[in-house]
Amino acid sequence: MPTGTLHSPSTQPGWRETSSLAGQGLTIGVLAMQGAFVEHVRILATLGATVREVRLPRDLDGLDGIILPGGESTTIGKLLEAWGVLAPLRSAIGRGLPCWGTCAGAILMAREVLDTLPGQPLLSVMDISVRRNAFGRQVQSFETMIMIDGMDSGLPFPAMFIRAPKIEAVGPDARAIAVLEDGTIVAARQGNWLATSFHPELTSDTRFHAWFLDIARANRGQNSGLTLASTAMP
Amino acid sequence: MTTITDRPVVSEASANGAAGAHDRSESTWAVKRGLAQMLKGGVIMDVVTSDQAKIAEDAGACAVMALERVPADIRKSGGVARMSDPDLIRAICESVTIPVMAKARIGHFVEAQVLEALGVDYIDESEVLTPADDEFHIDKHGFKVPFVCGCRDLGEALRRVGEGAAMIRTKGEAGTGNVVEAVRHARAVLGEIRKIRSLPVEELMTEAKRLGAPYELIREIHSTGVLPVVNFAAGGIATPSDAALMMQIGVDGVFVGSGIFKSENPAKMARAIVMATTHFRDAAIVAEVSRGVGEPMRGLEVASMPAGERLASRGW
């Protein structure tokens, strides 16, 4: 019997060493209206990023990237609108702020959302069409291994689908980066933006977060005219 | 890599990576627990009709609990409180897009089988209903649908997790609009976790014996400092400040039972409690959202309540 570390990340076989420098010097926001935002905060912190929970418009200042977590998209959308975060967040992302939405977050990012409430407040920034709860109810929720196009190393990634949405269509500006065996699109990328139907934050595998931090760093390097990205990253 | 039962974790799937690629595993421990993680920072509201479910969804509830009578009415009318009518549960499932939970009686595994067959997203094995078994709770590992269970202290929480509960809530004292018992139970759970953290390893077995909790879970908490599942507050939350109080004490989210639809203006109260749960550390916002929400439900004093009327003492 191991000494009381049954669930600590470093003892789980799926855990892989990621550079603890991936986030150093970056300030990443995690939208904290409702949902599994603490899981993202913890992983980003272990990767060395400065993390800020975003609940109000002022929390958006000076971010190098933002993660929109899983949760209930209807709840998160209403809170975004009620506290005046929806419009400034939309324009920040529109100006190229690196953004990654997991599950509910991907729904908020999509240009088109199917099977939702009429009038649900959405960011509608990314050229994808998403169907809510497309795999069914909770008893149909599942986990599997998938390949992610462009991430690294060619090793499969553990993907958890919880009342998950499907990406039904990808427009000309975005492209699919992960599909299930039946062809269902479950992740897409458009420039600095990532959308995933699944939840890397619920696993102990930090590669997806490290990848997003690489995107954020490259974007900052570009914008500031510094060569930081090329010197700091392996 | 297992604790007390054979519950798969996602890392085992990844260990098999190449060989098992693309196999789907449904209803794993991680998937059951995962939905509760998605509910965190949110408010789960008791509803008794489709219309109430829509009001809850519009107000920003992250899930609804479908039942026939809210706890305050169960208290008043007495008799045996059972699982809700399948037609009602179906109607509520069809009327909203957010997750739907429903209650089964403690130990009534057939009610739980029926709820699973109806497709609810979570089952609450609840002391609010009349217990069907005064000795044994349901073996929750045997179900595809995840369970939430009530507790008064850490030992009770970990006994339920040991049986397979993928989410825990305080029992509080349902239907009273009085938050005192929820506070007591949350403080008991969190205080006992802090204590376990500080114990030397050799004292953990005795602590497990004292709490009546599975030793492996005590070991896990000693190492991680947190419950292995999401922990909500329930039982007596009636105002935005009550919700923010529970969040500041350290729970992950709140259930509001009678507190919404027994208040003067349910839609406003529901929205205000959602707002206060998100901004629970910001007193100016809690003050702002608490204005003009109307009368909260009328409360009951728990201290003067006869022992037989206390729901929290059901289950062990």
ipTM: 0.90
Residue A179 token pair = 């599909």
- Asked if the C-beta of B114 comes within 8 angstroms of chain A's C-beta atoms, the answer is no
Mean pLDDT over A196-208 rounds to 96
How many residues belong to chain A? 234
Q: How much is the pLDDT for B3?
A: 38
Domain ranges of chain A: 24-222
Mean pLDDT over B168-186 rounds to 96
Average per-residue pLDDT for chain A: 88
Mean pLDDT over A165-193 rounds to 96
**B240 contacts B279 by C-beta, under 8 angstroms:** no
Please answer yes or no on whether B10 and A143 come within 8 Å at the CB atom: yes
Q: How confident is the model at residue B308 (pLDDT cuts 50, 70, 90)?
A: confident
* pTM, entire model: 0.90
**Position A203 pLDDT exceeds 60:** yes
Q: How would you classify residue A226: left for phi > 0, otherwise alpha for psi between -120 and 50, otherwise beta?
A: beta
Average per-residue pLDDT for chain B: 92
Closest among B220, B141, B168, B178 to B309, alpha carbons compared: B178
Please answer yes or no on whether A137 and B63 come within 8 Å at the CB atom: no
Residue with tokens 């019997």: A1
All residues of chain A having their beta carbon less than 8 Å from the beta carbon of residue B23 are 144-145
Mean pLDDT over B304-312 rounds to 88
What is the torsional sign of CA A181, A184, A187, A191? positive
Residues of A marked active site are found at 103, 199, 201
Residue B261 gets which letter from DSSP? H
**What share of residues in chain A are helix, strand, coil (percent, to 5)?**
30, 25, 45
Active-site hit among B32, B54, B76, B103: B103
Name residues whose C-beta falls within 8 Å of residue B19's C-beta, 6 or more positions apart in sequence.
Answer: none
- Can you tell me the distance from the alpha carbon of A133 to that of A148, in angstroms, rounded to the nearest whole number? 22
Q: Which of B1, B9, B285 to mutate to test the interface with A (most CBs of A within 10 A)?
A: B9
Q: How much is the pLDDT for B85?
A: 96
Please answer yes or no on whether B34 and A160 come within 8 Å at the CB atom: yes
All residues of chain A having their beta carbon less than 8 Å from the beta carbon of residue B278 are 32-34, 55, 79
**Position B103 pLDDT exceeds 50:** yes
**A225 contacts A37 by C-beta, under 8 angstroms:** no
Residue A194 token pair = 């990532």
**Position A14 pLDDT exceeds 60:** no
The burial of A15, by beta-carbon neighbours within 10 Å (0-12 exposed, 13-18 middle, 19 or more buried), is given as middle
Q: How much is the pLDDT for A117?
A: 86
Mean pLDDT over A16-26 rounds to 72
Mean pLDDT over A65-89 rounds to 97
Q: What is the per-residue pLDDT across B23-76, written as a single tens digit (0 to 9) for each?
A: 899 999 999 999 999 999 999 999 999 999 999 999 999 999 999 899 999 988
**Position B9 pLDDT exceeds 60:** no
Nearest-10 Cα torsion for A210, A212, A213, A217:
140
**Position B12 pLDDT exceeds 90:** no
Q: What is the per-residue pLDDT across B122-145, written as a single tens digit (0 to 9) for each?
A: 999 999 999 999 999 999 999 999
The burial of A68, by beta-carbon neighbours within 10 Å (0-12 exposed, 13-18 middle, 19 or more buried), is given as buried
Q: How would you classify residue B78: left for phi > 0, otherwise alpha for psi between -120 and 50, otherwise beta?
A: left
All residues of chain A having their beta carbon less than 8 Å from the beta carbon of residue B146 are 138
Q: How much is the pLDDT for A38?
A: 97
- Which strand ranges, in their side-by-side order, compose the sheet holding A142-146? A157-161, A142-146, B25-26
At the fourth CATH level, the homologous superfamily of domain A24-222 is: Class I glutamine amidotransferase (GATase) domain (3.40.50.880)
**Which residue type, as a one-letter code, is found at position A220?**
R
**Position A15 pLDDT exceeds 90:** no
Chain A nearest CA to B134, separation (Å) = 28
